[in-house]
Amino acid sequence: MMISEFSFPHLQAAQDARLAQQLERRRVALERRAEPVPRRAGRRAALSIRGAKPALR
């Protein structure tokens, strides 16, 4: 008898869910990157518009 990931449907379903989450995160990231950022805004303002946190220095 051969055992594969198809022998365990719950594992396949979990992998499909992880893939769907990853694709959704990529889609959101691409949309945010495509949003125009005002030229007058500084780096911190641009990051806050996009929802990112600036690195502390």
Instruction: Confirm whether 24 is domain-assigned.
Output: yes
Instruction: Confirm whether 56 is domain-assigned.
Output: no
Instruction: Confirm whether 39 is domain-assigned.
Output: yes
Residue 56: pLDDT band with limits 50, 70, 90: low
Residue 53: pLDDT band with limits 50, 70, 90: low
The residues near 24 (Cβ < 8 Å, ≥ 6 apart) are none
Give dist(CA 7, CA 11) in Å, integer.
9
Per residue in 19-51, pLDDT tens? 999 999 999 999 999 988 766 655 666 566 555
Instruction: Confirm whether 20 is domain-assigned.
Output: yes
List the domain range (segments joined by +) for residue 21. Answer: 9-50
What are the structure tokens assigned to 46, written together? 């641009």
Number of domains composing the chain: 1
Residue 36's pLDDT is: 83
State pTM to two decimals.
0.54
